[in-house]
Amino acid sequence: MSRGDSFSPRTMTTGRNTLKSGIVDNSFYTSDYQYSQKRNNKDMQDMAYKFMKGMPEFVKIVEVGPRDGLQNEKNIVPTDVKIELIHRLASTGLSVIEATSFVSPKWVPQLADAKDVMQAVHNLRGIRLPVLTPNLKGFEAAVAAGAREVAVFASASESFSKSNINCSIEESLSRYRAVTRAAKELSIPVRGYVSCVVGCPVEGPVPPSKVAYVAKALYDMGCFEISLGDTIGVGTPGTVVPMLLAVMAIVPTEKLAVHFHDTYGQSLPNILVSLQMGISAVDSSVAGLGGCPYAKGASGNVATEDVVYMLNGLGIKTNVDIGKLMSAGDFIGKQLGRPSGSKTAIALNRVTADASKI
Amino acid sequence: MPQLRKNIPDFVKIVEVGARDGLQNEKAIVPTDVKIELIKLLVSSGLSVVEATSFVSPKWVPQLADAKDVLAAVRDVEGASFPVLTPNLKGFEAAVAAGAKEVAVFPAASESFSKANLNCGIEDNLARCRDIASASRSLTIPVRGYISCVVGCPLEGRIAPVKVAYVAKSLYEMGISEISLGDTIGVGTPGTVIPMLEAVLDVVPIDKLAVHFHDTYGQALSNILISLQMGISTVDSSVSGLGGCPYAKGATGNVATEDVVYMLNGLGVKTNVDLGKLMHAGDFICKHLGRPTGSKAATALNKVTTCNASKL
């Protein structure tokens, strides 16, 4: 209800000093929510309590920007830029950063430098750096380059599996059994991704039972975590909840992660409802790197900064420093010559700019 | 998890604020006929409440200097109501003279914001609201009340829920028909929205409440979701996400109606809004403004429809 020009903000100066060392501290918007015993309306108390009580105290963020994010870029990003991005992300408190993918450069030219990237970063301390490995050959190349954690990716949709990785779901699962067997020998953890968990660009809506089937197959073959991906971003809480219920019926909740795309702007509500159901691992991409390959020009990954902002507000720990995260996002944004895909980063950057006028 | 779904209403009323809250932030003056066409297209999409304009002094909001003409052109359009903002009794009288059948007032929950933005403190503002509420009662004109800064204020920081409840209760007691709770700078998350709503629900019945979240930090849809889970059934939004945030320049403001409708459709919640026709209204105004839409759902659906359709 503003009147535009008449108001010049002097933000964040009085009383609560939220500007610390040039980094805006948004923790004053976190929740110190107490479930008050004294309530007029008991139904309301129970309801609100129900919304919050199932949520985890800590959420692990799996940062996929350097792989899922960059692999969609048309222009080849120089190897040293990729390495620098990973280093910056590593300084934010993120504990898992997907570094690259050992797929054929014929399919993903952007990640042809997988070996070089991996060799440069694999010794980063305290950080897990999973890499994608579509088959045994990729797995062996990854291990040779120093990888200590890998990931495989099956689809809940048969059509998408065929068009995206050139084989049926069953064939892909066989390939991955070979990978998990080899990985087990070397005590290398394997993460399993399931794509198209809500909708498929070819088939349309995907039945929850199919998602559960593929998730269980990956879990049974030894994947330590299953990341459920809404590849085309069509999910809403209305479709996400039944899908999660079907999967959670046969795969333990603590083994699950969610990977929502923000193509229709729905990823944060989808993440929220997943948290309410007890999910405690969320995939996201710094600055929202990574477009949607099926609706050109539309966005893809959800921005890590926006996710961390919400989690901070919910009082959920992540160990991620949002200021340092924004700095990593700024870095890659400058390299790519594009503004951030994170609304939080844009807003906090502007607010900081105002504060600097003091 | 039935309790996540149980209280979500079967029907949600969308209050479309694009033509007023959206356009008032535009630098370049939008021609009157474009505003009128936008409003008509919005009504044709099924929206039943379309905020038409504001009767504030053109000195403050030059964009809406044509308030009288816009209202005259749309007030008889069937199928929707056209509330208009009226900051004081003078504006109210001008609105009524121009044929307004519904008005809106806008106090703040933050004293500093109230003084800086509206040039008067909360109590003085509430006194003005009472004047308008009395005047409108005798004319049986409903009055909507917006409360700004319900979570955070650009000057004061975090706003205590009890302050929001105080303003909400005052509005309710003076006969305001609906109270729209606005997160003006978009800093809210479910962690701060839930306590705020709980405090307000202690003193105002839920059917009188609406939520007006800004998407400045990308949090609007999750805040709307949690509000629905608490039983709120009226949501404000702006076609194509029109309307930036005046406090963080370049940042977004209003949540896009298309994105809200997409989510509500997915939840099985009725809105009576046709998403395709809504997108058409969004396309129209964005073409005029020479900008891409601020709605992700519209962007995606436009790309998908074009791509797939062209293969046929």
Q: Can you read off the two tokens belonging to residue A268?
A: 């944060």
Contact B46, B274 (CB under 8 A): yes
> So where are chain A's domains?
55-353
Q: Do A47 and B229 touch (CB under 8 A)?
A: yes
Residue A357, pLDDT score: 43
Q: Can you tell me the ipTM of this complex?
A: 0.94
**Which residues on neighbouring strands pair with residue B235, listed in sequence order?**
B14, B211
Classify B300 as helix, strand or coil.
helix
Tens-digit pLDDT profile for residues A222-273: 999 999 999 999 999 999 999 999 999 999 999 999 999 999 999 999 999 9
Within the 62-81 window of chain B, which residues sit less than 8 Å (CB to CB) from chain A? none
Residue B163, pLDDT score: 97
Phi-psi region of B157 (alpha: psi -120 to 50; beta: other; left: phi over 0): left
What confidence tier does A299 reach under pLDDT thresholds 50, 70, 90? confident
Residue in chain B nearest A12 by alpha carbon: B155
What confidence tier does A53 reach under pLDDT thresholds 50, 70, 90? confident
Residue in chain B nearest A5 by alpha carbon: B60
What confidence tier does A350 reach under pLDDT thresholds 50, 70, 90? confident
Q: Which residues of B touch A346 (CB under 8 A)?
A: 248, 250-252
Tens-digit pLDDT profile for residues A122-169: 999 999 999 999 999 999 999 999 999 999 999 999 999 998 888 999
Mean pLDDT of chain B: 93
The answer to whether residue A10 scores a pLDDT higher than 80 is: no
Percent of chain A having pLDDT more than 70?
Answer: 82
Tens-digit pLDDT profile for residues A313-337: 999 999 999 999 999 999 999 999 9
CA B299/CA A332 separation, integer angstroms: 24
**Residue range B172-194: mean pLDDT, rounded:** 96
Q: Do B268 and A7 touch (CB under 8 A)?
A: no
Q: B129-166 burial by CB neighbour count: b if 16+ within 10 A, else e?
A: bbebbebbeeeebbbbbbbbbbbbbbbbbbbebebbbb
Tens-digit pLDDT profile for residues B105-144: 999 999 999 998 888 999 999 999 999 999 999 999 999 9
Residue B109, pLDDT score: 96
Q: What are phi and psi of B49, to 5 degrees?
A: -130, 115
What confidence tier does A42 reach under pLDDT thresholds 50, 70, 90? low
Q: What are phi and psi of A189, to 5 degrees?
A: -65, 145
Residue A358, pLDDT score: 37
How far lies A74's CA from each of A111, A215, A334, B82, in Å? 11, 31, 16, 47
What domains does chain B contain, in order, with CATH numbers?
Answer: 13-309 (3.20.20.70)
Residue A27, pLDDT score: 44
Distance from CA of B20 to the nearest CA of A (A): 10
Within the 216-275 window of chain A, which residues sit less than 8 Å (CB to CB) from chain B? 233, 235-239, 241, 245, 262-266, 268-269, 271-273
Q: Which long-range contacts (CB under 8 A, 24 or more apart) does A45-49 make?
A: A45/B198, A47/B3, A47/B7, A47/B229, A47/B230, A47/B231, A48/B194, A48/B198, A48/B230
Distance from CA of A148 to the nearest CA of B (A): 35
Mode of pairing for the β-strands spanning A199-200 and A204-205: antiparallel
Residue in chain A nearest B149 by alpha carbon: A1
The answer to whether A357 contacts chain B (CB < 8 Å) is no
Q: Which of A29-38, A131-140, A336-345, B192-201 has the lowest mean pLDDT?
A: A29-38
What confidence tier does A24 reach under pLDDT thresholds 50, 70, 90? very low
Please report how many Cα atoms fall inside a 13 Å half-sphere around the Cα of residue B60, on the Cβ side.
14
Q: A30-68 burial by CB neighbour count: b if 16+ within 10 A, else e?
A: bbebeeeeebeeeebbebbebbbebbbeebbbbbbbbbb
Q: When comparing pLDDT for A10 and A299, which is higher?
A: A299
Roughly how many angstroms between the first and final C-alpha of chain B, as a whole number? Answer: 41
Mode of pairing for the β-strands spanning A190-195 and A225-230: parallel
Residue B312, pLDDT score: 36
Residue A354, pLDDT score: 59
Residue A45, pLDDT score: 53
Distance from CA of B133 to the nearest CA of A (A): 19
Considering CB atoms only, which of B4, B265, B300 is closest to A273? Answer: B4
Contact A149, A128 (CB under 8 A): yes
Residue B306, pLDDT score: 55
**Residue range B144-169: mean pLDDT, rounded:** 96
Distance from CA of B134 to the nearest CA of A (A): 22
**Residue range A37-58: mean pLDDT, rounded:** 63
B245 counts as catalytic: yes
CA A358/CA B17 separation, integer angstroms: 34
**Residue range A172-180: mean pLDDT, rounded:** 97
Residue indicated by tokens 């939520």: B211
Residue in chain B nearest A47 by alpha carbon: B230
- Single out the catalytic residue among B129, B149, B153, B245: B245
Residue A107, pLDDT score: 86
Residue indicated by tokens 């430098």: A113
The answer to whether residue B285 scores a pLDDT higher than 50 is: yes
For residue B211, which of B148, B294, B141 has the smallest C-alpha distance?
B148
DSSP conformation class of A76: P
Q: Can you read off the two tokens belonging to residue B113?
A: 């914001």
Q: Do A16 and B157 touch (CB under 8 A)?
A: yes
Percent of chain B having pLDDT more than 90?
Answer: 86
A-B Cβ pairs (cutoff 8 Å, strict): 224
A55-353 maps to which CATH number? 3.20.20.70
Residue A36, pLDDT score: 35
What confidence tier does A32 reach under pLDDT thresholds 50, 70, 90? very low
Residue A21, pLDDT score: 31
The answer to whether residue A189 scores a pLDDT higher than 70 is: yes
Tens-digit pLDDT profile for residues A65-111: 999 999 988 899 999 999 999 999 999 999 999 999 999 998 899 99
Distance from CA of B267 to the nearest CA of A (A): 4
Within the 231-270 window of chain B, which residues sit less than 8 Å (CB to CB) from chain A? 231, 245-252, 256, 259, 262-263, 265-268
Residue in chain B nearest A18 by alpha carbon: B157
